[in-house]
Chain A
């Protein structure tokens, strides 16, 4: 598996970092009160496995569903905007205006709209946050095409939709994946922060606030670790998807 290759370095770096963390704490902070040692966090993770696992399922669902909906909407809007001038003139300024709102600040308001314990409000936050980078970057990729490639297609009397398929969409792929990597980490942050304000109480967000409120920092960190895992798995999935979708693209970065 080619995609695994890029992961050996971060894994080594992670092991070294956690080793240092554990070592430094055991030397200077034997109580491990505010910042528990990795061993304690892992201990808390094992002790509270059922709750953490449930939290990962709930939060993971919010993240993944919001991500998928945001991606689909972002791509559709980008295709619409590049195809129709009127769509461009209406959607683009609207999207820019919406993006100026710090969307996460809407979490308490969305909770009122969708019901305090409904995951819908958190999903909506994730969708709104994911939509924008996907929309903007994909639009850029669909429009910033090599002029001679479009002219070549025109010289073959290719239809507009054929030009979109043969030139615009492949050209937009690297733009889309750059946005997708950004969007996955945004999605996890958005979901957790949104959960601080409402949604299901067995999600990771409430677990972090409640454990920290009760000064059970090892449990709070265990939940943070679990949310990190969601982000890491998603990021890895995106990298694999990228290689599968654009086998030609790695050739640019690693010339033989």
Chain B
């Protein structure tokens, strides 16, 4: 609302640069309101995520991490407050396919082969058959499951299924990735490999990631910011910025890394009382 045109132009470009990817204001979520099984899952959440951030949500089981992710994904709507994604209502962002999501349960389709599962979002987005095949095999290489391309999900172990779900979420290179405990069922070595791969993709494609985990070291290793949530009804108890520079195998043994881990642990201990 400036009188000077030059000034307003400068402001609008300034705004575009700092446009928030996620902007949650006063969002609450009550399940089954007015019924005996009423659950107040989230109370007054304010959260802003800027482009290129890697934000991890951590908190006790049942504190509403998955619920918060579902709000951002517009799979449920808030009981009050607002959720904006890419400066538009979350619903519109969903319809525009602005994000990719990996769920806590793999949610693979038994009736599709592994390849076909990964191709599903690409089919829905109208990719050609050749492009789909190429991308799916790239993704399978990434999660080290190439030899299982033609298998069905019920022939895979839980951890392998989760890797297929991750490949599916990454397949169409969404600019926003929502991941709900994607590495929960993986062994330590695979987990570390997947963490490094995820960080590589995040850096190369300049995506924004919101990631839920129960593992403190994982949260610290991956994130630019760790958000600690309190038990039900979930609120944001504290936010811890993590600045460890480029991650590598050495990072995991870095004293600065351990310091952050301790910091997050103390914050978690506080909310759990």
Can you report 11 A-B residue pairs in the complex whose CB atoms are below 8 A from each other? A151-B70, A151-B73, A154-B75, A156-B124, A157-B97, A162-B124, A166-B109, A167-B109, A248-B111, A252-B110, A256-B155
A170 to chain B, nearest CB (A): 4
Asked whether, in the complex, the Cβ of A148 is within 8 Å of the Cβ of B105, the reply is: yes
Q: Which residues of B contact A152 (CB under 8 A)?
A: 101, 103, 107
Asked whether, in the complex, the Cβ of B97 is within 8 Å of the Cβ of A156, the reply is: yes
Roughly how many angstroms separate A252 CA and B154 CA in the complex, as a whole number? 7
Roughly how many angstroms separate A155 CA and B154 CA in the complex, as a whole number? 23
Binding site for A on B (CB under 8 A): 70, 73, 75, 94-97, 99-101, 103-105, 107, 109-112, 120-121, 124-125, 152, 154-155
Roughly how many angstroms separate A252 CA and B111 CA in the complex, as a whole number? 11
B82 to chain A, nearest CB (A): 20
Given A149-B107, A149-B109, A151-B103, A156–B154 Cβ distance below 8 Å? no
Roughly how many angstroms separate A222 CA and B121 CA in the complex, as a whole number? 57
Roughly how many angstroms separate A170 CA and B154 CA in the complex, as a whole number? 15
Q: Which residues of B contact A156 (CB under 8 A)?
A: 97, 120-121, 124-125
Q: Which residues of B contact A154 (CB under 8 A)?
A: 75, 94
Q: Which residues of B contact A148 (CB under 8 A)?
A: 103-105, 107
By beta carbon, the residue of chain A nearest B105 is A148
Q: Which residues of A contact B155 (CB under 8 A)?
A: 251, 255-256
State whether the Cβ of A158 lies closer than 8 Å to any Cβ in chain B: yes
Asked whether, in the complex, the Cβ of B107 is within 8 Å of the Cβ of A157, the reply is: no
Within 8 A of B (CB), among A55-81: none
Roughly how many angstroms separate A158 CA and B70 CA in the complex, as a whole number? 16
Given A149-B109, A162-B124, A170-B111, A155–B152 Cβ distance below 8 Å? no
State whether the Cβ of A146 lies closer than 8 Å to any Cβ in chain B: yes
A219-256: CB near B (< 8 Å → 1, else 0) gives: 00000000000000000000000000010110110011
Sample of 15 further A-B pairs with CB below 8 A, known A152-B101, A152-B103, A157-B94: A146-B105, A148-B105, A154-B94, A155-B94, A155-B100, A155-B101, A156-B97, A156-B125, A157-B95, A170-B111, A246-B111, A248-B110, A248-B111, A252-B110, A255-B155
Binding site for B on A (CB under 8 A): 146, 148-149, 151-152, 154-158, 162, 166-167, 170, 173, 246, 248-249, 251-252, 255-256
Point out the residue from A149, A157, A158, A248 that lies within 8 Å of B152, measured CB to CB: A248
Point out the residue from A166, A255, A256 that lies within 8 Å of B120, measured CB to CB: A166
Q: Which residues of A contact B70 (CB under 8 A)?
A: 151
- A149, A162, A167, A256 — which one has the most chain B CB atoms within 10 A of its CB? A149
Q: Which residues of A contact B105 (CB under 8 A)?
A: 146, 148
* The 10 A-B residue pairs with the shortest CB-CB distance in the complex, in nearest-first order: A148-B107, A170-B111, A248-B152, A148-B103, A156-B124, A155-B101, A157-B95, A151-B75, A148-B105, A248-B111
Q: Which residues of A contact B109 (CB under 8 A)?
A: 149, 166-167, 170
By beta carbon, the residue of chain B nearest A171 is B111
B151 to chain A, nearest CB (A): 9
Roughly how many angstroms separate A29 CA and B70 CA in the complex, as a whole number? 74
Asked whether, in the complex, the Cβ of A155 is within 8 Å of the Cβ of B75, the reply is: yes
Q: Which residues of B contact A252 (CB under 8 A)?
A: 110, 154
Q: Which residues of A contact B101 (CB under 8 A)?
A: 151-152, 155
A31 to chain B, nearest CB (A): 57
Q: Which residues of B contact A255 (CB under 8 A)?
A: 154-155
Q: Which residues of B contact A149 (CB under 8 A)?
A: 107, 109
Roughly how many angstroms separate A246 CA and B112 CA in the complex, as a whole number? 10
Roughly how many angstroms separate A157 CA and B97 CA in the complex, as a whole number? 7
Asked whether, in the complex, the Cβ of B124 is within 8 Å of the Cβ of A251, the reply is: no
Given A162-B124, A251-B152, A155–B99 Cβ distance below 8 Å? yes
By beta carbon, the residue of chain A nearest B110 is A248
Roughly how many angstroms separate A256 CA and B154 CA in the complex, as a whole number? 11
Q: Which residues of A contact B111 (CB under 8 A)?
A: 170, 173, 246, 248
